[in-house]
A and B are shown apart, each in its own frame.
Chain A
Amino acid sequence: MSATATTLRTRRRPPREAAGSPLLLGHGRLPRALAGTALVVLAVLWLLPFVWAVITSVQSEEDINTTGLSPFKGAFTLDAYQQILERGNVTVWAFNSFLISALVTLITVAVSTLAAYGFSRGTFRGRRALLGVTVAAIMVPPQLLVVPLFDQMTLFNMVDTYAAVILPQVVAPMMVFILKRFFDGIPKELEEAARIDGASEFRVFRSVVLPLSRPIVAAVAIFVFIGAWNNFMWPFIVTNDPDLMTLPVGLATVKDAYGIQYAQSMASALLAALPLIVVFLLFQRRIVNSVATTGLGGS
């Protein structure tokens, strides 16, 4: 067992966090077999919808609808993918999703780290009150703001613009709170050394505090990005122009138009799913650790 534990243990990981404790199952064969079976059953259940979608996407519509019943019978074809990519709107929506999520992440991280540093080190009047309001705002469900925000965007004449989709998403009190708590834990002595060397307050933030906070900033960035990529209600309400829609919104508008074209429906769903799955595969350790370090995340 210790051999398995060692191979599972990955670079950079302290031993305590090594995957799994051999103790939990003891040395008996039966508990191990039971646990293994349960894991396999759960994993199969969780992967089945993906498998079913993939199989459907590589069939022809005729095969699915006429011979029907089993998607296992039809012949392999990539027609559905080809048709979707030729139509082009999925590519436009994917571009919009990337642009919008990237900008939301960039602005949110910049604004939130600065604010968190100000709340952590600042001495300005009203600091505690403002921090209190920020923390209280964590409880406000974003859906509550949708109606008045739409009214506001109409007033500013901003409906159907990238700015209208992006700006309301950059307010992230939860992220400010998480970052502030982290900055609080960084000893001030480190910054004082820099200040004695004559560094400005912003320089201290950029060259001392930020480098020390890379893992937490990365965690925040990852969760903001996932949240923005998957955000539905707000972009759905504020965009009517198909050229400005994000992937989730665009697909929702054409979902019913697919009708009985299940192969195309599944092909476009899988194309839209791909980017974040790739991101997860690349940053798996980081994402898993992010949940641990921030305790929260997501929207």
Chain B
Amino acid sequence: MTTTAPLGTEEQTGPPAAPADGRRTALSRVRTGNGLVFVLPFLLVFGLFMVWPIVQGLWMSFTDSSLALRDTTFVGFDNYTEAFGDADVWSSLGNTVFFTAVSSVPLVLIALAMALLVHSGLAGQWAWRLSFFAPYLLPVTVVTMIWTWLYQPELGMANQLLDALGMEPVGWLSDESVAMWSVAALTVWWTVGFNFLLYLAALQSLPTTFDEAAALDGAGAWRRLWSITLPQLRRTTGLVAMLQVLASLKVFDQIYILTKGGPNGSTRPVLEYVYDVGFTGYRLGYASAVSYLFFALIVVVSLVQLRLFRRED
């Protein structure tokens, strides 16, 4: 294996360039196995823990399967018809869409602002990066524990700040019209760091030639930001927005721990409804049907986004 010695250079950031002479021998093709054996372990876990549950879930959605009893009967489209007429499905879906709207916009815009500011070259790079990205590293429970305390009605930081400013306290998690905004604020704080890093990476790989040329022509910082940098970031913005909408639609964890969907169901997302119906109400069949309807929605949103994304190119 002497051949590896010159190749094993440490810290390579990409594959090395191909040698100039692209020699391809018949010998190599003969001795290359067909590679199936490499894929087998993945196929095993993929089949067991992905394909099986997908198929099983689809089957369950056509049955009255329940956690309480083992034998189930086929009920056709009953679960799906019930879901379409279920007011709780629609209200939790509405909550999910509302959350997606009010969290995605700041999650993209604030991330962009952070990345532009950090990229502008002020001292203390690692400190800014750490401040903005650190919350992303926290487990969801830690985030909700900290924010439950911040939102605490009498002693929490949020209401104490309002009090210091001479304003009325707010029922951050107890007021139906405020609770979802509070959840969105927590989510922005928690996850904006990831989008920030995506933007920062994109900014660092932008060619600076246009910017330099414009600067030589006397264009100011604002002008160059609007006319050069932001247009150059359009693809990244498309990607970040796409990933963000899909992530926001899947919201469950922080809401379940923070409010359990309350007050009065005002923050319950559709995935929590699936959990409530399946694991608290024991109706696995119906829960599956609702989650498959939700999956269909995700697929439609993904396809629409891909379409828009492709057209941008």
Nearest A residue to B4 via CB reads A207
- Determine whether the beta carbon of B53 is less than 8 Å from that of A149: yes
What is the CB-to-nearest-CB distance from B204 to chain A, in angstroms, rounded to a whole number? 5
- Determine whether the beta carbon of A280 is less than 8 Å from that of B134: yes
- Determine whether the beta carbon of A137 is less than 8 Å from that of B189: no
- Determine whether the beta carbon of B56 is less than 8 Å from that of A38: no
Nearest A residue to B212 via CB reads A23
Nearest A residue to B119 via CB reads A20
Given A147-B284, A292-B205, CB of A262 within 8 Å of CB of B155: yes
Enumerate chain B residues within 8 angstroms of A282, measured Cβ to Cβ.
none
Enumerate chain B residues within 8 angstroms of A85, measured Cβ to Cβ.
none
- Determine whether the beta carbon of A212 is less than 8 Å from that of B7: yes
Q: How many residues of A contact B (CB 8 A)?
A: 133
- Determine whether the beta carbon of A130 is less than 8 Å from that of B139: no
For the complex, give the distance between the alpha carbons of A249 and B18 in Å.
49
Question: B274 at interface (Cβ–Cβ under 8 A)?
Answer: yes
Binary contact readout A200-240 vs B (1 if CB under 8 angstroms, 0 otherwise): 01010101100110110000000000100110110001000
Choice from A124, A211, A229, A291 contacting B35 with Cβ under 8 Å: A124
- Determine whether the beta carbon of B288 is less than 8 Å from that of A115: no
Enumerate chain B residues within 8 angstroms of A277, measured Cβ to Cβ.
134, 137
- Determine whether the beta carbon of A171 is less than 8 Å from that of B140: no
For the complex, give the distance between the alpha carbons of A203 and B127 in Å.
43
User: How many pairs of residues, A versus B, come closer than 8 Å at their CB atoms?
Assistant: 373
Enumerate chain A residues within 8 angstroms of B140, measured Cβ to Cβ.
230, 232, 248
- Determine whether the beta carbon of B120 is less than 8 Å from that of A20: yes
Enumerate chain A residues within 8 angstroms of B13, measured Cβ to Cβ.
215, 289, 293
- Determine whether the beta carbon of B31 is less than 8 Å from that of A195: yes
For the complex, give the distance between the alpha carbons of A170 and B116 in Å.
36
- Determine whether the beta carbon of A53 is less than 8 Å from that of B149: yes
For the complex, give the distance between the alpha carbons of A191 and B15 in Å.
13
Greatest chain B CB density within 10 A among A121, A146, A149, A272 is at: A146
Given A69-B160, A233-B253, CB of A8 within 8 Å of CB of B139: no
- Determine whether the beta carbon of A115 is less than 8 Å from that of B128: no
Question: B145 at interface (Cβ–Cβ under 8 A)?
Answer: yes
For the complex, give the distance between the alpha carbons of A261 and B42 in Å.
46
Question: B291 at interface (Cβ–Cβ under 8 A)?
Answer: yes
Given A23-B211, A49-B146, A49-B189, CB of A39 within 8 Å of CB of B45: no
- Determine whether the beta carbon of B11 is less than 8 Å from that of A124: no
- Determine whether the beta carbon of A214 is less than 8 Å from that of B12: yes
Question: B184 at interface (Cβ–Cβ under 8 A)?
Answer: no
List 10 A-B pairs, minimum CB-CB distance, nearest first. Answer: A20-B121, A122-B35, A118-B38, A292-B201, A115-B42, A118-B39, A148-B57, A187-B18, A148-B53, A124-B36
* 28 A-B pairs with C-beta separation under 8 A: A24-B120, A24-B229, A26-B220, A39-B118, A42-B117, A49-B150, A53-B149, A123-B34, A137-B46, A137-B50, A144-B54, A144-B294, A145-B49, A145-B53, A146-B275, A186-B16, A192-B24, A196-B25, A201-B32, A211-B7, A215-B11, A232-B141, A237-B279, A252-B141, A272-B142, A280-B137, A291-B197, A297-B194
User: Which residues of chain A have a CB within 8 Å of any CB of chain B?
Assistant: 1, 4-5, 7-8, 12, 16-17, 19-26, 28, 31-32, 35-36, 38-39, 42-43, 46-50, 52-53, 56, 64-65, 68-70, 110-112, 114-115, 117-119, 121-124, 127, 130, 134, 137, 139-141, 143-152, 167-168, 170-171, 173, 176, 182, 185-197, 199, 201, 203, 205, 207-208, 211-212, 214-215, 226, 229-230, 232-233, 237, 247-249, 251-252, 255, 262, 265-266, 268-270, 272-273, 276-277, 279-281, 284, 287-289, 291-293, 295-298
List 9 extra interface pairs beyond A43-B131, A248-B140, A298-B194, CB under 8 A. Answer: A4-B121, A25-B221, A42-B132, A124-B36, A199-B1, A203-B1, A255-B145, A270-B142, A284-B129
